[in-house]
Structure 1
Amino acid sequence: MSRHYSYIGLGSNLDNPKLQLQQALDEIAQLPGCDLLANSSFYASKPQGPQDQPDFVNAVCLIGTELSPQQLLEALQSIEQQHGRVKKRHWGERCIDLDILLYDDLVMQTDQLVIPHPYMTERDFVLIPLAEIDKDVRIPNKGGLTALIDKLTTSYLITI
């Protein structure tokens, strides 16, 4: 089996968000064929979309994995379901959200999965934690992190 490297975005704004993220990191580390290699600090951020919800806690982690992108997606969705995730509204509140941001330098699009994550370059709560792990990461077809972070118009992140 070949080893791949994937960055995963984590977010929560319900049911003790910091604990939700820590538990999700522990569960990602225990996935078969996966090793948790690094994780960022936790950051408080304003919600995307509807503002009538609590602020989010976000982080990014790097894993080494033998899972395919589809297998990894299914494993992350299983963790979300174990945490009781229910999608009530688009960009709404959630106990846990786990997104594959990057998978090696793969570019792919299916009905279930788009890599790189389609909104990652617009989100401070993804780019800044990602840069904390590795500021030299390049996002396929988008460029380097430093230039992308410089393009952000606003940032409301607070390290917690």
Structure 2
Amino acid sequence: MKIRLKELFFGGIGGTFIGLFISMIISYFYSPNYLPLHPRSPIGLFFLSQHIHVSLIMLYCLLIWFTMGTVFRWSGSFFQRDWSLLRSILSHYGVMILTFALLSNLAGFFPAAKIPNLTLAAIGEFTLIYLIIAAAIYYHTYQKIKKINSSLTSKS
């Protein structure tokens, strides 16, 4: 299955909007003015210590969020390949968790003092939610296969 550039672009746009939404929530609680990243994250501390203009910080964050959305959309194509469901799920999970862990830290989602704890907590929550979704996908696929097999046996 070939994934089109248009799909990747719209995945990136979706990632940008989700990142923007998360940044607004983080900024609301941790900064009197809007900052697209956590002001006490390592990248936030670096940008603020170098007196980098907020518009350049925003451009940096937009690129990170766009990349995250693009990779997440691309990894969805694993389910459209001629792979087993287990291989698709494990490959998708691996790409998603690595991308999430790396880019969420680069996007400044977590304060510097709590990066290990918050990253591990986010990975744990991510894994739990992913397992629930994977079980639902597995069950749905199992039901479709069962329905196809019963229709094939009834026609024979």
Tell me the TM-score normalised to structure 1 length.
0.27
Name the TM-score, length of structure 2 as normaliser: 0.27
Task: Give the strand-richer structure, 1 or 2.
Answer: 1
| Larger helix proportion of the pair | 2
